[in-house]
């Protein structure tokens, strides 16, 4: 490849990275934020790493938006899983907290989100709340939750979908 070809390829790669960032950064950030327990710095690192991997594999990517979105979400999820595994392998760092330092804005934002979620969960029907409790709090699979609740798996899935939709809507209304 001549110098002009290399320059053209570099320009295309830069355009691709800019396009990926513009089109998928917000979606990836919101999805990864939940997976990282609202750790904004880690979330930003995961999104950046995901977009870099997309850029590195640009020759192999299917350019259809739906396929690309799925690929990006899968890569981001795997990066988070790897991060959780490496964090579990290392001893947890202990931070010294000084009571005279005010809460950072990120802590306040996370606290507000948690308060909104708790409030919304309290307003859910007993059926929806129990489905959320069994799966998200107790860590049960849909099948296990269905057995505990004495309902079909499809019912648990439906209740979870409706409950999560309600929670998401409340969080969106707040922001």
Q: What are the tens digits of pLDDT across the range 122-171?
A: 888 889 988 888 888 788 899 999 998 999 999 999 999 998 888 888 77
Indicate whether 123 belongs to any domain. Answer: yes
Same-domain pairing of 9 and 60: yes
Indicate whether 127 belongs to any domain. Answer: yes
* CA distances for 125 relative to 45, 144, 160, angstroms: 37, 20, 11
Same-domain pairing of 32 and 71: yes
The number of folded domains in the chain is 2
Q: Which of 90-94, 95-99, 168-172 bottoms out in mean pLDDT, i.e. has the lowest?
A: 95-99
pTM of the predicted model, to two decimals? 0.47
Q: Indicate whether 76 pLDDT > 90.
A: yes
Q: What is the mean pLDDT of residues 100-120?
A: 66
What is the spatial distance between Cα 107 and Cα 112, in angstroms, rounded to a whole number? 9
């Amino acid at each position: 490849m001549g110098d002009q070809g290399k320059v053209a390829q570099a320009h295309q790669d830069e355009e691709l990275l800019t396009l990926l960032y513009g089109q998928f950064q917000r979606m990836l950030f919101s999805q990864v934020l939940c997976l990282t327990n609202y750790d904004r710095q880690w979330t930003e690192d995961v999104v950046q790493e995901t977009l870099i991997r997309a850029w590195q594999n640009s020759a192999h990517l299917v350019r259809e938006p739906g396929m690309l979105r799925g690929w990006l979400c899968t890569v981001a999820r795997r990066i988070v899983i790897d991060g959780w595994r490496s964090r579990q392998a290392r001893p947890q760092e202990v931070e010294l907290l000084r009571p005279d330092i005010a809460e950072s804005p990120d802590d306040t934002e996370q606290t507000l989100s948690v308060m909104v979620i708790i409030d919304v969960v309290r307003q859910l029907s007993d059926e929806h709340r129990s489905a959320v409790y069994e799966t998200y709090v107790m860590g049960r699979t849909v099948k296990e939750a269905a057995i505990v609740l004495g309902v079909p798996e499809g019912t648990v899935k439906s209740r979870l979908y409706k409950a999560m939709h309600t929670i998401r809507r409340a969080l969106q209304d707040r922001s």
